[in-house]
Chains A and B, each alone.
Chain A
Amino acid sequence: MKRDPNDLQRYTASERANHWVVGISFILIALSGLALFHPAFWPLSMLFGGGVWTRILHPFLGVLMAVSFAAMAVRFWKLNVMTPTDWEWLKRAKEMVNGDDHNMPIMGKYNGGQKMLFWALVVCMALLFVSGILIWRAYFSGFFPVGVVRLGAVVHAAVAAVMIALIFVHVYAAIWVKGTIRAMWYGTVTRPWAKQHHRAWYKEMTGK
C-alpha cells in the first residue's frame, strides 16, 4: 500500500513491529514502576489490577522490554556510531532547539542527538536490567547480600527516572518535527522531510 511512490522507506515492517513491542512494554513498565516508586503514583497500580498484580507483572514486563530493546539495539547500533559531524551537530543543537536549523551540519539517517539518545538508552536499559534482577525478590534478591540489593534499588529508581525523561524527549522530538511519526506507523517519510532533516541519508536514498 504505497501512499506516494516518491516517499522514502525509512523502516521495514519488522523494525516497526520491534519498536512497538519496546514502546508498549515501556509504557506499561513505566506506569507500573512509577506506582511502586512514589505514593503519588500509587493509583496507577489500579491499571494493572492492584498492587499485588503490579508487583508480579512489572519485572516480567521488564524482561520483555529488555529482550525487545536488545533486538532493536542489534539492528540499529551500526547506524548510531558517532562521527565528528555528529559532535559538531551537538555543539549547535541549541540553535536547532531555538528554531533555527540553517547552520546545522548535514546529517545521515540519524543526527547526533538521536545517536546520543540511542546510547543513553542502551546504558539505561543495561543498568535497569541488572539492578532489576537484584531487587526481584521473588526469584533473585535472596542470592545477593542486602547491601547490593539496596544499591540496586537506588540505581533502579534513579536510572528509571532518567530513562522516562529521555523517552519524554524522544516522543516530544517526534511530535515537534512534523512528518516524523508516520515513519513509526507505516515506515515511510516524504522526500522533503528527508532532505530537510537528514540530507546525507536523502542523498544516499535518491542519489540527489
Chain B
Amino acid sequence: MPLQSLDIAARSATTTPPPGIRKTLEVAKLIDVTKCIGCKACQVACMQWNDVRDEVGENHGTYDNPRDLTANSWTVMRYSEVESQERGLEWLIRKDGCMHCEDPGCLKACPSPGAIIKYANGIVDMQQENCIGCGYCITGCPFNVPRISEKDHKAYKCTLCSDRVAVGLEPACVKVCPTGCISFGSKEDMKDIAEERVVELKERGYGNAGLYDPQGVGGTHVMYVLHHADKPGLYHDLPTDPAISPMVSLWKGVTKPLATLGLAAVAIGSLFHYVTKGPNEVSKETEKEVEKELEEEGKQ
C-alpha cells in the first residue's frame, strides 16, 4: 500500500479478505452538539478543503442551508426547534453527514468492486473512479447520507478528510470549529472526552446526556454528544437505533449464494437429466402412424 495510514479493512463487492497483517489505530470524530453555535464554519471549511461548491439555493424558512446534503455539500447543519414543558424552547443544532459506520450499509449494498472502501482506521470512503452510479449505497445507508451527483453520476459523501488524516492532519471541519465542538483523534480518546463531557452535562441538569455511538451499526467513527441522548430523534430525526435494514441484509446476504447455487443446480441438473434419461424423441410408432395417415390421404 502506498500509505500505511490508509490500509484497507473492507472493500465493496469483494469476497476475499483485504491485506491484514497490520493493525491501525481506529480514529473518530466527536461532535459535541451541546457546544455547537450553528455558525456553519464546518460547512465552509468542508467546501473549501474538498473544493466542492453547491448551487446557491432558496430560503425555505429554516436556517438549514442548503436544505439537505447534496453531492457538493457533504455536511449540513440541521436546526431543530424543540419545545418542552420543562425546558421551554430549545434550539438543537446537529452537524449532519456521514457517520462512518463500523458496519457500513453503503459498502454492503455496493455492487461495484472497490467503489467503497473502509480503511483500517475506520473511515468509509467512496472511490468515485470505481463508482457506477447505481445508487445502491443510498438504499443501503441507515442515515440517508450518500448522494449521486447530477453532473457526473457518481456517489459522494463526507470522506472524513481521509487525505488529511492520511498525513496526520485533522479533518477540515475539526480544524475550523471556533467553539471546540468537534474533536478528532483515536476512537478511545474521543470516547473518554465524551464521557467527561457527559458527566459535566449531567451536573448541569441534563440528566439524559450521553454519547451517540450506535451499536446497531457496530459503532460509528463520527459520534455525537447529545444533551438528550434518550431522544436522538429530536435532533432532526437522528435514528434512535440505526442498523442495516433486514431487507438490505437479505438482499446482500443469503440471496446471493442461494440464487447462485440454485441456478447452478438447475443448469447442472438439466445436463445430467439429458445424460441419464436421454432425449425425448418421437417414437417410431407415432412416425409410422403418421406415415400411414398420409398414405391414406394420398389414396383418397
Interface residues of A (CB under 8 A from B): 6, 35-40, 42, 51-52, 54-55, 97-99, 101, 135, 137-138, 141, 146-147, 149-151, 153-154, 157-158, 160-161, 164-165, 168-169, 172, 175-179, 190-193, 195-196, 206, 208
Show 7 A/B contacts (Cβ-Cβ < 8 Å), sorted by A: A99-B280, A141-B139, A146-B144, A149-B139, A150-B245, A161-B258, A196-B286
Residue of A nearest to B154 (CB): A52
Specify which of A97, A150, A190 lies most central, judged by the most chain B CB atoms within 10 Å of its CB: A150
Q: Is the CB of B138 within 8 A of A42?
A: no
Q: Is the CB of B113 within 8 A of A42?
A: yes
Bound CA–CA A173/B245 (angstroms): 40
Q: Which residues of A contact B282 (CB under 8 A)?
A: 178-179, 190, 192-193, 196
Bound CA–CA A99/B74 (angstroms): 64
Specify which of B112, B287, B289 lies most central, judged by the most chain A CB atoms within 10 Å of its CB: B112
Q: Is the CB of B132 within 8 A of A52?
A: yes
B204 contacts the other chain (Cβ, under 8 Å)? no
Bound CA–CA A196/B111 (angstroms): 48
Known: A135-B139, A161-B255, A168-B266. A97 touches B273 (CB 8 A): yes
Bound CA–CA A154/B248 (angstroms): 7
Number of inter-chain CB pairs below 8 Å: 133
Q: Which residues in chain B, 221-266, are within 8 Å of chain A measured between CB atoms?
A: 245, 247-248, 250-251, 255-256, 258-260, 262-263, 266
Other A-B pairs beyond A99-B278, A150-B139, 7, CB < 8 Å: A39-B113, A137-B133, A137-B138, A141-B135, A153-B247, A165-B266, A176-B273
Bound CA–CA A145/B131 (angstroms): 23
Interface residues of B (CB under 8 A from A): 13-15, 109, 111-113, 130, 132-136, 138-139, 144, 148, 153, 245, 247-248, 250-251, 255-256, 258-260, 262-263, 266-267, 270, 273-274, 277-283, 286-287, 289-290, 293-294
Q: Is the CB of B267 within 8 A of A168?
A: yes
Q: Which residues of A contact B286 (CB under 8 A)?
A: 192, 195-196
Q: Is the CB of B277 within 8 A of A154?
A: no
Task: Give the top 6 A-B pairs by smallest Cβ distance, nearest first.
Answer: A137-B135, A161-B259, A150-B247, A51-B132, A172-B270, A39-B13
Bound CA–CA A55/B30 (angstroms): 37
Residue of A nearest to B11 (CB): A39
Q: Is the CB of B289 within 8 A of A195?
A: yes
